[in-house]
Chains A and B, each alone.
Chain A
Amino acid sequence: MASKVIQALYNDDDVLMHAVKKVRAEHHHIEEVYTPFPVHGLDKAMGLEDTRIAITSFMYGCLGLAVAITMMNYIMIDDWPQDIGGKPSFSYMANMPAFVPIMFEMTVFFAAHLMVITFYLRSRMWPFKKAENPDVRTTDDHFLMEVGVHDNEDELTALLWGTGAVEIKVTEKDS
């Protein structure tokens, strides 16, 4: 489906923040904002929901801990409880301190890596992915706000010029 969007370019993050607030106050839906660097507070101004990635990370960490405990318990205690240098391989608890470094590292490993993979999946990033960039200047020194057009092109254009945009274009967009 092709839809019409209006793209307003700004060259200052402060101006952009004010523009975002104004456009939202006028009840227009901001489709996307492209910036060359993280703009502090932009997510709040756009009304984006908080990320839940920290919660996934906590769960992945729990999974890593469980994997480490199961693995060490099976290998060192259940499968072949050898006497290695007098370490007490009678039960998991008896030899637990020796497993803590592994438990810790596995927790961190799972929490970190699975969280990063979750981030890639959720934000659709992978090698050879075609870059979604409406204007190359947005990776350098320009900020771009994209607002959907629903037969209100003139009104929107006037509003966006009023927020301090340096350039405005209307394009068809495949989605």
Chain B
Amino acid sequence: MYTFSNRLRIGSFIAMAVGLIFLAIGFVSAPSTPEEARAIVAASHDDHHGGGHAEEASHGAEEAHGAEAAHDEGHDASHDLHLLHQLQNRPWSALYVAAFFFFMISLGVLAFYAIQRAAQAGWSPILFRIMEGITAYLVPGGIIVFVILVLSVLHMNHMFVWMDADVVAHDKLLQGKAGYLNPTFFLVRAAIFLGGWIFYREYSRKLSLAQDASEDNSNFVKNFRWSAGFLVFYLVTESMMSWDWIMSVDPHWFSTLFGWYVFASMFVSGITVIALISIYLKSKGYLEQVNDSHIHDLAKFMFAISIFWTYLWFAQFMLIWYANIPEEVTYFVARFQDYKVPFFGMLVMNFIFPLLVLMNSDYKRVNWFVVMAGIVVLAGHYLDVFNMIMPATVGDQWHIGIPEIGGILFFGGLFVFWVFTALTKAPLQPKRNPFLEESRQFHY
């Protein structure tokens, strides 16, 4: 049995507390009137860029206004309101990105776990308890994401522009999508997705524990069937979830492989977290039977899925860049212009770094190498989620500052606390899995 180390528990509480304070600061310092918003932006421009940038901006604004001199007043007001909404969105988006990121890790692990069960993999049963521990976060993480979505529907923020009835009334395109993108159906879908995933997680965990105590393999067989069924459900709902929760922040834009892209991101983050937690527990002496070959396999998955993620990222980007259709390309134009560093930074962190670090077979067996690569990959996939949400919600007003770090700390602390608490609930090694002996002897 694993006992939750006190230092880790206290650390997770501190992270949660600091995160909460940072998030609170973010919410309090968000402007509540257009004038305040203008003042904040003016102040930050003076601070960071000096006069040059502001001059340039006002020059651009003058030109634009010259064309619509008659609408000058109204245009200014709507611009300020837009700015206000962006600044008000910032703490919300920081909260949402971090909440989704940690939720997505446990969902990615759940998919990996179901695949290992459905494929009857011989190497991984020894790691099942760790995966089950990570997927325990699905319940609080999923509920928090759901609550954020409910608050969005209740107009507490402006992250999902299609939820605003006034906007839809003046937007033909959103009216056309209203059959799918309407608040009630949106929440019903979210509840179905979360219900299905949490049900599978809890039921599979129950069967997995029952298998330890049983006399035959009936629980194992049942778990195999449920896992195969879950994968079908998961592939459909994950795809729809990515349209609902992520793509719909840009409701004018659409991409067909978006669901796969989000899947790759969550899958590689999930596998990375399995590797990191296994290495941590092994270093504490809890997983004597887990050998370097298991870590090697996880690192191979990290390497391969990182490349798979890049493949999907590039397939999505290159098709849109090549055809350059205005209605699609705005998505990347916004990211190129305002998000250069996170956009290309994540490509380096999620592709080039793991490609070079994890290519060598020997390095994949060196634990600190895997840990280092894992941390970079996780940071890269946080940036990936950041790049998917932020341009649509805060636009060019993004920073990685107090609310963003607060979100990471709070949910990171909660994640660690919840996962390691779940790990103490059952022995770290299954007893009666038919593949357990093979997994113990696993050697590459």
Q: Which residues of A contact B (CB under 8 A)?
A: 54, 58, 86, 97-98, 100
Contact of B368 with A by CB under 8 A? no
Contact of B61 with A by CB under 8 A? no
Q: Do residues A97 and B324 form an inter-chain contact, with CB atoms below 8 A?
A: no
Cα A82 to Cα B165 in complex, Å, equals 49
Contact of B236 with A by CB under 8 A? no
Cα A98 to Cα B320 in complex, Å, equals 11
Contacting residues, chain B, for A100 (C-beta < 8 A): 314, 318
Nearest 10 CB-CB pairings of A with B: A97-B318, A97-B321, A100-B314, A98-B322, A100-B318, A97-B322, A97-B317, A58-B359, A86-B324, A54-B361
Contacting residues, chain B, for A98 (C-beta < 8 A): 318, 322
**Residue contacts A-B, CB under 8 angstroms, 10 given:** A54-B361, A58-B359, A97-B314, A97-B318, A97-B321, A97-B322, A98-B318, A98-B322, A100-B314, A100-B318
Cα A58 to Cα B360 in complex, Å, equals 10
Cα A56 to Cα B240 in complex, Å, equals 44
Contacting residues, chain A, for B321 (C-beta < 8 A): 97
Measured CB to CB, the closest approach of chain A to B442, in angstroms, equals: 14
Contacting residues, chain A, for B322 (C-beta < 8 A): 97-98
Cα A97 to Cα B310 in complex, Å, equals 13
Measured CB to CB, the closest approach of chain A to B347, in angstroms, equals: 12
Secondary structure dominating the interface of A: helix
Contacting residues, chain A, for B324 (C-beta < 8 A): 86
Measured CB to CB, the closest approach of chain A to B365, in angstroms, equals: 13
Contacting residues, chain A, for B317 (C-beta < 8 A): 97
Contacting residues, chain A, for B314 (C-beta < 8 A): 97, 100
Contacting residues, chain A, for B359 (C-beta < 8 A): 58
Since A54-B361, A97-B321, A97-B322 are in contact, a sample of 6 more A-B pairs with Cβ atoms closer than 8 Å, ordered by chain A residue number, is: A58-B359, A97-B314, A97-B317, A97-B318, A98-B318, A100-B314
Among B310-342, those with CB < 8 Å from A are: 314, 317-318, 321-322, 324
Contacting residues, chain A, for B361 (C-beta < 8 A): 54
Cα A54 to Cα B360 in complex, Å, equals 9
Measured CB to CB, the closest approach of chain A to B292, in angstroms, equals: 16
Measured CB to CB, the closest approach of chain B to A67, in angstroms, equals: 19
A54, A97, A100 — most chain B CB neighbours (10 Å): A97
Cα A97 to Cα B318 in complex, Å, equals 6
Measured CB to CB, the closest approach of chain A to B348, in angstroms, equals: 15
Cα A50 to Cα B427 in complex, Å, equals 39
Cα A120 to Cα B421 in complex, Å, equals 56
Cα A97 to Cα B317 in complex, Å, equals 9
Measured CB to CB, the closest approach of chain A to B358, in angstroms, equals: 13
Cα A58 to Cα B355 in complex, Å, equals 12
Cα A61 to Cα B342 in complex, Å, equals 28
Cα A86 to Cα B321 in complex, Å, equals 12
Contacting residues, chain B, for A86 (C-beta < 8 A): 324
Cα A89 to Cα B317 in complex, Å, equals 18
Contacting residues, chain B, for A54 (C-beta < 8 A): 361
Measured CB to CB, the closest approach of chain B to A49, in angstroms, equals: 14
Cα A117 to Cα B324 in complex, Å, equals 42
Cα A83 to Cα B291 in complex, Å, equals 57
Contacting residues, chain A, for B318 (C-beta < 8 A): 97-98, 100
Cα A98 to Cα B317 in complex, Å, equals 11
Measured CB to CB, the closest approach of chain B to A89, in angstroms, equals: 14
Cα A100 to Cα B318 in complex, Å, equals 9
Cα A136 to Cα B281 in complex, Å, equals 53
Measured CB to CB, the closest approach of chain A to B193, in angstroms, equals: 33
Measured CB to CB, the closest approach of chain A to B332, in angstroms, equals: 10
Cα A115 to Cα B321 in complex, Å, equals 34
Cα A58 to Cα B361 in complex, Å, equals 13
Cα A97 to Cα B324 in complex, Å, equals 12
Residue of A nearest to B320 (CB): A97
Cα A133 to Cα B321 in complex, Å, equals 58
Cα A97 to Cα B329 in complex, Å, equals 14
Cα A54 to Cα B362 in complex, Å, equals 12
Cα A74 to Cα B292 in complex, Å, equals 46
Cα A119 to Cα B321 in complex, Å, equals 40
Measured CB to CB, the closest approach of chain A to B16, in angstroms, equals: 42
Cα A86 to Cα B314 in complex, Å, equals 20
Measured CB to CB, the closest approach of chain A to B155, in angstroms, equals: 39
Residue of A nearest to B317 (CB): A97
Measured CB to CB, the closest approach of chain B to A36, in angstroms, equals: 24
Q: Mark B344-380, 1 if CB is under 8 A from A, else 0.
A: 0000000000000001010000000000000000000
Measured CB to CB, the closest approach of chain B to A99, in angstroms, equals: 10
Measured CB to CB, the closest approach of chain B to A69, in angstroms, equals: 15
Residue of B nearest to A41 (CB): B443
Cα A68 to Cα B317 in complex, Å, equals 21
Residue of B nearest to A55 (CB): B360
Residue of A nearest to B321 (CB): A97
Contacting residues, chain B, for A97 (C-beta < 8 A): 314, 317-318, 321-322
Residue of B nearest to A98 (CB): B322
Measured CB to CB, the closest approach of chain A to B15, in angstroms, equals: 39
Residue of B nearest to A101 (CB): B318
Cα A108 to Cα B318 in complex, Å, equals 20
Measured CB to CB, the closest approach of chain A to B197, in angstroms, equals: 35
Measured CB to CB, the closest approach of chain A to B83, in angstroms, equals: 32
Measured CB to CB, the closest approach of chain B to A9, in angstroms, equals: 29
Q: Mark B83-122, 1 if CB is under 8 A from A, else 0.
A: 0000000000000000000000000000000000000000
Measured CB to CB, the closest approach of chain B to A101, in angstroms, equals: 8
Cα A95 to Cα B267 in complex, Å, equals 31
